[in-house]
Structure 1
Amino acid sequence: MNLDELRDQALQIHDLYDELNRRARGRAWTREEFMLGFVGDVGDLAKLVMAEEGAREMPGGRHALEHELADCLWSVLVLAHHYDVDLESAFHRTMSELTASIGARLAAEDTTH
C-alpha cells in the first residue's frame, strides 16, 4: 500500500469518527482536539515502548504496540491532510536536509579528532 492509499483509508476512518462524534456529541472534533488525541496516542506509545524494553508493565504486548504505532500514523496522515501538507514531499525534503546536516556535523567531528 502506498502513502496515497494509506491517506485515503485514514480519511475514511476520520470521516466515520466525525459522524460518530456528531451523533454522540453534536459536533466533530476540531483540529486542536484531534491533535490532543494524537498527543494521548503518543503517550500510550511511549508506555508501550517502555514495556517492550522491560522498563514497565503494560497490558497488550506486541499487538498493542502495533496498534498504537498505526494510530499515530493515522493521526499524522489526517493532520497532514487538514493542514494541506504534501507529506511525501515534506518527508523527502526533510530527510535530505537531515542527511546534509548530520553529514556536515560528522565531517566537522572528523576534522576535530
Structure 2
Amino acid sequence: MSQPGQVDLEPARHRAMEVRALYEAIERRLNGQVWTLQELMLGFSYDVGTVGRLILAHEGTWDIDGDVDAQLAHKLSESLWWVIVIADRLGIDISEAFADTMNKIELGLVPSADQPAPQS
C-alpha cells in the first residue's frame, strides 16, 4: 500500500517496458542492437514537438488533418511512455522521483504557519 504523498507508477512502468521489449526485438533484427539513450531521447524530442503542434491545432492556430483530440491523447500517452522508458534506462525509480518532485513543489507552494501567503 502506498504511503501518503507516494505514487505507484509501477503498473504503467511494467506495461511501458513490455512494449519497449517489443521495439527492442525489432531493433535487434533490423539494426543488430537496441536504441541508445541518445536515440531514445531523439524519439522523445520528436514526439514532444508533435505535441506542441497538436496543442496549436487544438487552439486553432495550426492546421492538422484528423481528430486533434485523439491525436493529442495518443501523443501525450506516448510521451509518458518515453519518460518511463528513459527513466528505466537511467536506473531512475520514476514513481519515487515523481512523488519526491511533487512533494518538493507542493512544499514551495503551500505557505508554512510562520510564513504569510504570497500577495497577488
For the superposition of Structure 1 and Structure 2, which TM-score range results when normalised by the shorter chain?
A: 0.7 to 0.9
Shift of 1:38: 0.4
Q: Which runs of 4+ in 1 moved over 3 A?
A: 106-109
Name the structure 1 match of 2:15: 9
Give the root-mean-square deviation of aligned CA atoms: 1.9
**Structure 1 pair 88–107 and aligned structure 2 pair: CA distance change class (3 A):** farther
Secondary structure at 2:35's aligned position in 1? coil
Where structure 2 has 5 or more consecutive residues not aligned to the other structure, the ranges are 1-7
Where structure 1 has 5 or more consecutive residues not aligned to the other structure, the ranges are none
Give TM-score, length-normalised by structure 1. Answer: 0.85
- Relative contact order, higher structure (CA 8 A, sep 6+): 2
**Structure 1 pair 4–58 and aligned structure 2 pair: CA distance change class (3 A):** same
Q: Does 1:58 align with 2:64?
A: yes
Higher helix share: 1
**Structure 1 pair 53–25 and aligned structure 2 pair: CA distance change class (3 A):** same
Name the structure 2 match of 1:36: 42
**Residue pairs, 1:19-34, within 5 angstroms:** 19-34=25-40
**AA in 2 matched with 1:18:** E
Q: Does 1:76 align with 2:83?
A: yes
Shift of 1:103: 3.5
Give TM-score, length-normalised by structure 2. Answer: 0.80
Percent identity reads 34
**Structure 1 pair 99–21 and aligned structure 2 pair: CA distance change class (3 A):** same
**AA in 1 matched with 2:47:** D
2-structure distance, mates of 1:28, 1:89: 27
**Structure 1 pair 107–99 and aligned structure 2 pair: CA distance change class (3 A):** farther
